[in-house]
């Protein structure tokens, strides 16, 4: 559970980078590509979903969607459902 929480904190920090630096014209494509690679590093192939942000060349629309945070939450939920329940 601690690793899931650490990944969530990292995802939130990376989304904050996307909300700030990722909105600079010309830098958004590089930031989105780097965040996609980071997402795969954090969450495996489920992180590949983060590359959808490259579809917006302006970087303005995707900056309002905390993609990495949403992936982290979905992975936490998936991991919670995989664990055997303690009685």
Low-confidence ranges of the chain (pLDDT < 70): 1, 63, 83-87
**Domain count across the chain:** 1
Q: What angle do CA 75, 10, 12 make, to 5 degrees?
A: 85
Is residue 24 included in any domain, yes or no? yes
Residue 53 pLDDT: 87
51 occurs within a structural domain? yes
Say how far apart CA 47 and CA 26 lie, in whole Å: 23
Ramachandran region, residue 24 (left: φ > 0; alpha: ψ -120 to 50; beta: rest): beta
Does some domain include residue 84? no
pLDDT of residue 12: 94
Predicted pLDDT at 80: 79
Closest of 16, 77, 15, 3 to residue 42, by C-alpha: 3
- Asked whether residue 68 is domain-assigned, the answer is yes
Model pLDDT, residue 84:
65
Residue pLDDT, tens place only, 4-28: 899 999 999 999 998 888 788 888 8
Q: Looking at residue 34, what is its pLDDT?
A: 94
> Is 86 a member of any domain?
no
- Assigned domain for 85 exists: no
Q: Nearest 5°: phi and psi at 30?
A: -70, -40
Please give the residue range of the domain that contains residue 64. 2-79
């Amino acid at each position: 559970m601690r690793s899931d929480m650490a990944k969530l904190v990292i995802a939130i920090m990376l989304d904050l980078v996307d909300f700030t630096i990722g909105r600079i014209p010309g830098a958004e494509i590089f930031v989105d590509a780097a965040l996609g690679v980071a997402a795969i590093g954090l969450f495996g192939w489920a992180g590949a979903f983060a590359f959808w942000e490259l579809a917006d060349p302006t970087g303005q629309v995707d900056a309002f969607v905390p993609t990495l945070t949403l992936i982290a939450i979905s992975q936490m939920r998936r991991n919670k459902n995989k664990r055997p329940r303690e009685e």
